[in-house]
Structure 1
Amino acid sequence: MILSVDPASGVELARFTPHSPAEVDAALDAAAGAQARWRTLDVTERVGLLRELARVLRAGKEKYARLITAEMGKPLAEAEAEIEKCAVTCEHYAEHAPAYLADRPVVSNASESKVVYDPLGVVLAVMPWNYPFWQFFRFAAPALAAGNGTILKHAGTVPQCALAIAEVLRDAGAPAGLCATLLVEADAVAGLIADDRIAAVTFTGSTQVGTIIAAQAGAALKKQVLELGGSDPFVVLADADVPAAAATAVRARFVNGGQSCVNAKRFIVEDAVADEFVEAFTTAVAALRIGHPGSPGTDLGPLARENLRATLHDQVERSVAAGAKLLLGGEVVDGPGFFYPPTVLDHVTPGMAAFDEETFGPVAAITRVTDVTEAIALANRTEFGLGAALWTRDLGRAAHLVRELDAGAVFVNGLVASDARLPFGGIKKSGYGRELGAEGIQEFVNTKTVWTGPAAPPAGFPASVLRPAALPAHNRGGGASTVPLVTRAIGARVFLNGTTAFEGGAGIPLHTHNCPESVVILDGEAIAEIDGVEHRLSRWDTTYVDAGTPHRFRNASATEPMRILWTYASVEATRTIVETGVTTRVDAESR
């Protein structure tokens, strides 16, 4: 049974029977079929769904926000901001997905090469409870724009949010079956990953579960994106704007009740400003209002589950026992619900739980350092690498220091946050792959190379000599027309060309090339010998010569000059003299 529980009271809100194996199988079949049709639409058609998603989300913002607050426990204002962020992200990809997915041409010898982006198929999204709408839509908006389908397996504690997401997709007009929500237990995930109808997996959650998901997806050889735990450093150097840093630090740590992978968790402060920072930070934290998340003015609601509170309190007690100084909080709140007070620990050092482990809740750990070298070293002294903040007035120095911080994102003098325009993800045990930005939409696509060589001459194309009348002219309007002598004859992009002038009676020896060649007579008359057959050519006549075909040209007049334009379907064309067998590279100076 899947239960929905109010973390502010501990009271059960609803319970749901998990989907049966037959229902899961039907959903997978429907998603695979719908995605096969969805991928055939042009991206400019697919993004229409994203615009509708943004509209539906905003129209139901209050309803969905109250559902988030009821099941997860974040303050109502933060829940409303979450819905708005989902809508903004859908709009971002509606506007930019066509450019993100546009074919990328690549110039290649004797070819028309390009890189194209095709959808992978149906992507399984195993999502967490802390941002129940945002975590799904930040993945789904780019995935759907790219032509994929989605199967959502949400956290077991937010089943009503999961069903509401299905409602949003349906109301926005998503094709039937394309985006399915499955209410299943955690032990069903392995079977979903292994199923041939699932092409890839995205997971956001703990590092411990992430390693299991990675192993299962790896065994099935399926693409995966993992956004896992974090112990983000918030580095305050001696030259920082300390009041601004302290004010931002409060939001960085306590937004969403401190229950975010990208919350700042370790505050690493140079000794010279440590006392000033700690005083300003602690004063601001003490002013936070803890209360029911649905009440106006509440800054901090409950933790999402009782076991999360127990784990967090244990980390605080172990850190204090190891020598950390407790400045605020640190005691379990009496009464119903899973509340825990905003807590500040000072003089935290490596080896303490609050420094070494991810603290998922309203606990801030302050570490004092002697200089910037120690600050960077301790910032990197973690198994995680999601985000980092760096506070300094010296932006020149900051430009160098950000390269030394081990993190997927570094924010200088600001709050670490995700943004639809920027790639988001981590390194080390914070996972791999990226969401958001252009990089996010390209995670769940097949980056396909398309190489197109020179086309064979069209049926009925003369073997050697082509007269202007043999090719259709393209009417360009205004009485102008174009006869594509060279490019049509070559059948490929023009890569290398030049002109050769012949004095009266002059000629060149019999030779071959490693690529097709087209020659246009610009002035005079020529005699072309191609594969043993002679042709008399006049001005604007064109010859087409396949790679490896022996040929040569000479001036038909003994007194008047003759000039030709030659074009090769390669920038690395070579010429081999038949009589001697000597091969040389051709360029504009050697012909």
Structure 2
Amino acid sequence: MIVSINPASGEQLATFDSYDADRVDRMVTAAVVAQSNWRWSEVQRRTELLESLAATLRDRKAELAALITSEMGKPLAEAAAEIEKCAINCEYYATNAPGFLAAETITAEGRVEVDPLGVVLAVMPWNYPFWQFFRFIAPALAAGNGAILKHANSVPRCALAIESVLRDAGVPDGLVGVLLVETDQVAGLIADDRIAAVTFTGSTEVGSIIAEQAGRALKKQVLELGGSDPFIVLADADLEVAATTAVTARFLNTGQSCVNAKRFIVEESVADEFVTRFSAAVGRLVVGDPVDDGTTIGPLARAGLRDTLHDQVRRTVDAGATLVRGGEVADRAGFYYQPTVLDHVLPGMAAFDEETFGPVAAITRVRDADAAIRLANQTEFGLGASLWTAQERASELVRRLDAGAVFVNAMVASDPRLPFGGIKRSGYGRELGAHGMREFMNLKTVWSADPAPRLVIKPDDVEVFDRGSGVRTVPYVGAWNSESNKITTGTTVFAVGTRIPLHSHNVEESVLVFAGQATAVIGDERIDLEAGDATWVPAGVPHQFINRGDGELTIYWVYGGRAVTRTMTATGVTVAHLSAADRGAVAASGK
């Protein structure tokens, strides 16, 4: 039996029977069938689906936020922000998926293509019941994968709401199966040959079990596990900003996040002032019903979490730490704990050595920056770290911190644009960004024994340039930065010494002809070109040109494959090229 409980009151909200083996088998089969079709869908179809998911999440934001709050206790404003972040993530991958999925040309003969792995099992936690899932599913769907979601059993209503969001947004039937199953059924899912890979977010202890089971089945895993993130405050930090940010970094989501700051390591010379500022700000936090607008600290998600936290606080104080404020179970219904500040916490104490999952901050004083870095790294975890110091010394200190992410003069947070994950017992693999998307893709090396043409083609070598694509183009026509998509010449002119910034394109190929002398850097090849020379630039290969002659340099461009208009990121120049029909006409007239 799976039970939904309101942590603010302890009230039972709903109960659900676990799905039996036959129902689970049917859902996995459906996901495999749906994914076998989805993997061949056009990228535009996938990005449109992600945009629909974003719109659906926003349309239902109020309803979904209220559901999160009722089932895991997050303050309502934070729950609404969680749904918005999910929508932003979907939009990010809708925008960037085409580029992330493009083949990468490595050499003239070799390239890397990306294929989806299949159906991925996602075992997700309760603390961010929508975000943890959508940060996985957006890139997974964009990549052509399917999924089976096994959510935390304390948030079954959130799991079913996710299922309804997917359905409302138009996710193909069966492509993402949402299972209500007991924990002991997970091992069978991992061992199932139809499951291609596993992603898990949760405790280090359960992550070790997941890793063992997936490893036995030789399946790819991404594990985002526990953390005891350091928040390092050095003497040259802006203490007012550091202390204010520290409160949010620790007490967001009532302290129930892997990347909450948990150990505050402060240089001794400023420790008294930091503790005073920090403790005063903690005193302004409001413990209350999470649906109330003014509440900043809600209940912990479960009674067991509250009791474990209180035990850690008691053991830390008994070992010699100073209790600055809090340290007690709140005197009210539900699973509340008072915001707590512990000072003079040392290695060997529970609040330093263990992950504290709730509204408790542990402050450790150190003599200097070297000691701060040493203690920051003195943990089995390695998820994130926040470093507060002057920018001019930050880069050297960042290199010495053992963490998957270091935020300088800012709190640690996940961002769809950047890879997210940890080292040591905080797990392995990455989510988010291009790196996260490729975790569940096959990086396929493709080698062609028919190499690309020589880098440079002299004017007398060919009259018509043909790469075998069926489009024959005369190199000396076409223009860069022309006002219309017409045959023209002489429109790209660069003064002596001009350096065209490094850039690349994602069309199939381009042929460039030079009127004047240039040095071309294409990938890792560098060559001097004379007037009339032509060169070929593969898709995705960074390139730049330098005018090395005595006069102006003019470059004529002809793109193969398809018509395209692009804006060069480095220059902002819009590039218009010949259409396929124009190229065909030119080829005919050139014979």
TM-score class normalised by the smaller sequence: 0.7 to 0.9
Are residue 440 (structure 1) and residue 431 (structure 2) matched? Answer: no
Give the TM-score normalised by structure 2. 0.77
Give per-residue Cα distances to partners, 1:169-205, cap 9 Å, x unaligned: 0000000000110000000000000001100000000
Q: What is the CA distance between 1:44 and its match in structure 2? A: 2.4
Residue in structure 1 matched with residue 8 of structure 2 by the alignment: 8
Sort the Cα spacing of 1:3 and 1:452 in 2 relative to 1 into closer, same or farther, 3 A: same
Residue in structure 1 matched with residue 115 of structure 2 by the alignment: 118
Q: Counterpart amino acid of 1:21? A: A
1:324-335 matches, cutoff 5 A = 324-335=321-332
1:182-261 matches, cutoff 5 A = 182-261=179-258
1:82-231 matches, cutoff 5 A = 82-108=82-108, 112-231=109-228
Select which of 405, 411, 414 maps to 1:409: 405
**Which runs of no fewer than 5 residues in structure 1 stay unpaired?**
456-466, 482-492, 495-591
Q: How big is the alpha-carbon RMSD for the aligned residues of Structure 1 and Structure 2?
A: 2.3
Give per-residue Cα distances to partners, 1:536-558, cap 9 Å, x unaligned: xxxxxxxxxxxxxxxxxxxxxxx
In the alignment, the residues of structure 1 paired with residue 189 and residue 469 of structure 2 have an alpha-carbon distance, to the nearest angstrom, of 57
Sort the Cα spacing of 1:451 and 1:253 in 2 relative to 1 into closer, same or farther, 3 A: same
1:530-569 matches, cutoff 5 A = none
Aligned with 2:195: secondary structure?
coil
Residue in structure 1 matched with residue 306 of structure 2 by the alignment: 309
Q: What is the CA distance between 1:397 and its match in structure 2? A: 1.0
Residue in structure 1 matched with residue 284 of structure 2 by the alignment: 287
Select which of 342, 361, 364 maps to 1:364: 361
In the alignment, the residues of structure 2 paired with residue 125 and residue 104 of structure 1 have an alpha-carbon distance, to the nearest angstrom, of 28
Residue in structure 2 matched with residue 273 of structure 1 by the alignment: 270
Q: What is the CA distance between 1:475 and its match in structure 2? A: 6.2
1:369-518 matches, cutoff 5 A = 369-393=366-390, 395-454=391-450
Aligned with 1:327: secondary structure?
strand
Aligned with 2:387: secondary structure?
strand
Give per-residue Cα distances to partners, 1:207-248, cap 9 Å, x unaligned: 000000000000000000000000000000000000000000
In the alignment, the residues of structure 1 paired with residue 330 and residue 13 of structure 2 have an alpha-carbon distance, to the nearest angstrom, of 22
In the alignment, the residues of structure 1 paired with residue 130 and residue 217 of structure 2 have an alpha-carbon distance, to the nearest angstrom, of 28
Aligned with 2:222: secondary structure?
strand
Q: What is the CA distance between 1:335 and its match in structure 2? A: 2.6
Q: Counterpart amino acid of 1:436? A: L
In the alignment, the residues of structure 2 paired with residue 479 and residue 185 of structure 1 have an alpha-carbon distance, to the nearest angstrom, of 68
Sort the Cα spacing of 1:453 and 1:59 in 2 relative to 1 into closer, same or farther, 3 A: same
Q: Counterpart amino acid of 2:386? A: A
Residue in structure 2 matched with residue 322 of structure 1 by the alignment: 319
Residue in structure 2 matched with residue 262 of structure 1 by the alignment: 259
Residue in structure 2 matched with residue 503 of structure 1 by the alignment: none
Aligned with 2:247: secondary structure?
helix
- Which runs of structure 1 show a deviation greater than 4 angstroms over 4 or more consecutive aligned residues? 471-481
Q: What is the CA distance between 1:478 and its match in structure 2? A: 13
Give per-residue Cα distances to partners, 1:497-527, cap 9 Å, x unaligned: xxxxxxxxxxxxxxxxxxxxxxxxxxxxxxx
Sort the Cα spacing of 1:14 and 1:275 in 2 relative to 1 into closer, same or farther, 3 A: same
Residue in structure 1 matched with residue 58 of structure 2 by the alignment: 58
Give per-residue Cα distances to partners, 1:440-460, cap 9 Å, x unaligned: 0000000000011129xxxxx
Residue in structure 2 matched with residue 462 of structure 1 by the alignment: none
Give per-residue Cα distances to partners, 1:4-50, cap 9 Å, x unaligned: 00000001000001111110000000000000000001222211110
Q: What is the CA distance between 1:477 and its match in structure 2? A: 9.2
Highest CA radius of gyration, 1 or 2?
1
In the alignment, the residues of structure 2 paired with residue 473 and residue 300 of structure 1 have an alpha-carbon distance, to the nearest angstrom, of 66
Are residue 347 (structure 1) and residue 344 (structure 2) matched? Answer: yes
Give the TM-score normalised by structure 1. 0.77
Q: Counterpart amino acid of 1:191? A: G
Sort the Cα spacing of 1:472 and 1:318 in 2 relative to 1 into closer, same or farther, 3 A: closer
In the alignment, the residues of structure 1 paired with residue 329 and residue 154 of structure 2 have an alpha-carbon distance, to the nearest angstrom, of 22
Aligned with 1:107: secondary structure?
coil
Q: What is the CA distance between 1:121 and its match in structure 2? A: 0.1
In the alignment, the residues of structure 1 paired with residue 438 and residue 470 of structure 2 have an alpha-carbon distance, to the nearest angstrom, of 42
In the alignment, the residues of structure 2 paired with residue 480 and residue 68 of structure 1 have an alpha-carbon distance, to the nearest angstrom, of 61
Give per-residue Cα distances to partners, 1:259-288, cap 9 Å, x unaligned: 000000000000110000000000000110
Q: What is the CA distance between 1:422 and its match in structure 2? A: 0.4
Residue in structure 1 matched with residue 42 of structure 2 by the alignment: 42
1:23-38 matches, cutoff 5 A = 23-38=23-38
Q: Counterpart amino acid of 2:99? A: A
Sort the Cα spacing of 1:215 and 1:98 in 2 relative to 1 into closer, same or farther, 3 A: same
Residue in structure 2 matched with residue 568 of structure 1 by the alignment: none
Q: Counterpart amino acid of 1:96? A: N
In the alignment, the residues of structure 2 paired with residue 56 and residue 36 of structure 1 have an alpha-carbon distance, to the nearest angstrom, of 25
In the alignment, the residues of structure 2 paired with residue 126 and residue 188 of structure 1 have an alpha-carbon distance, to the nearest angstrom, of 11
Sort the Cα spacing of 1:106 and 1:252 in 2 relative to 1 into closer, same or farther, 3 A: same
Q: Counterpart amino acid of 2:13? A: L
Q: What is the CA distance between 1:296 and its match in structure 2? A: 1.1
Aligned with 2:9: secondary structure?
coil
Q: What is the CA distance between 1:480 and its match in structure 2? A: 8.8
Q: What is the CA distance between 1:148 and its match in structure 2? A: 0.2
Q: Counterpart amino acid of 1:315? A: Q
In the alignment, the residues of structure 1 paired with residue 450 and residue 413 of structure 2 have an alpha-carbon distance, to the nearest angstrom, of 49
In the alignment, the residues of structure 1 paired with residue 102 and residue 42 of structure 2 have an alpha-carbon distance, to the nearest angstrom, of 11
In the alignment, the residues of structure 1 paired with residue 477 and residue 80 of structure 2 have an alpha-carbon distance, to the nearest angstrom, of 61
